[in-house]
Amino acid sequence: MEQHQLGATGPMVSALGLGCMGMSGMYGESDRGESIATIHAALDAGINLLDTGDFYGMGHNEMLLAEALKGVPRDRYLLSVKFGAQRDPAGGWLGFDGSPAALKTALAYSLQRLGVDHVDIYRPARLDPRVPIEETIGAIAEMVQAGYVRHIGLSEVGVETIRRAAAVHPIVDLQIEYSLVSRGPEDRILPALRELGIGTTAYGVLSRGLIGGHWQSGAVGAGDFRAMSPRFQGENLDRNLALVEALRSVAAARGISVAQAAIAWVAAQGKDIVPLIGARRRDRLSEALGALDVTLSPEDLAAIEAAVPRDAAAGDRYPAAQMAALDSER
């Protein structure tokens, strides 16, 4: 698989990464055996970037990865780990803690659950408004010096925070939602990242399955984040699925699937952007990998963007309270 350097100072990563969150309950039930088989299939295909978070299933996702990676040589994969989100036993969200003591404790737990002596990229999942970003990044930098972390990343933060963080320690990437229906980063964030030599790992490239070409109304089950997502509600969903059908027509003319068109579009926005694919099953992973064989011409890109115009999606990507808390939206 083609590989690119992640930012100016980061590791070599595969052209696609595997986002593992959905294997631990955020989108309803998942099959443990199939999840592990999907991780193995991703590694076999040449994917080396595995993205997780310590709050995905409150340790479940890290332990799942540890089980899947048992016996796999450590140099075959890179672990990108997010920390800081606080949740109660019922799964409720309590806020975010980016303090030095909290992050060092979280890292110790992550290393134990993952069964490794270091993580490759460590990042705060969100900005803690109570803790200066300099303190958070400075504490991770201490973990880099101690050998427990190799590189530092960011997630869902805006330009000012990115600049302040980069002044403390080299940042290899920003993880942010970016897709045909979430193009906000193009305005200020992507230009700033390129100016600073920071890569982008794009999550939500299929908008949590909304533009994957397989979604059906009424498909949200218990414990599924999408039950609260504005884009999956009522008339918003109807309007968004109409966009998917328009994209389907363009993709069919090109001989590819809807998901492949959406993934290939993100990949075509720059070699510094690595799409994270949230596949939980091998068939979905195989479909996503097919996007790597797609080269979109300027005419193809124009047709895709005409089918799904910027800002055409109905509804925000998160509920209002979460949107208000995102530093990247300021």
Write out pLDDT tens, residues 226-244.
878 899 988 999 999 999 9
Q: Supply φ then ψ for residue 36, to 5 degrees.
A: -65, -40
Catalytic residue selected from 56, 77, 122, 318: 56
Report d(CA 263, CA 276) in Å as an integer: 9
CATH number of 3-329: 3.20.20.100
Residue 219 has pLDDT above 70, yes or no: no
* Closest C-alpha among 192, 264, 263, 187 to residue 7: 192
Q: Quick check: helix, strand or coil at residue 185?
A: helix
Burial (CB count <10 Å: 0-12, 13-18, 19+), residue 234? exposed
Structure tokens that stand for 102 in this block: 């909290």
What amino acid occupies position 114?
L
- Band of pLDDT at residue 27, cut at 50, 70 and 90: confident
Which of 224-228, 286-290, 302-306 shows the lowest mean pLDDT across its residues?
224-228
Q: 272: closest CA among 211, 185, 165, 207?
A: 185
Q: Please name every residue paired with 83 in a beta bridge, in sequence order, or none if there are none.
A: 124
pLDDT at 307 over 70: yes
Cα 277–Cα 310–Cα 47 angle in degrees, nearest 5: 15
Longest dimension (CA), the chain: 54
Whether 56 is catalytic is: yes
pLDDT in tens, 113-129: 999 999 999 999 999 99
What residues does each domain of the chain span? 3-329
Q: How many CB atoms lie within 10 A of CB 88?
A: 9
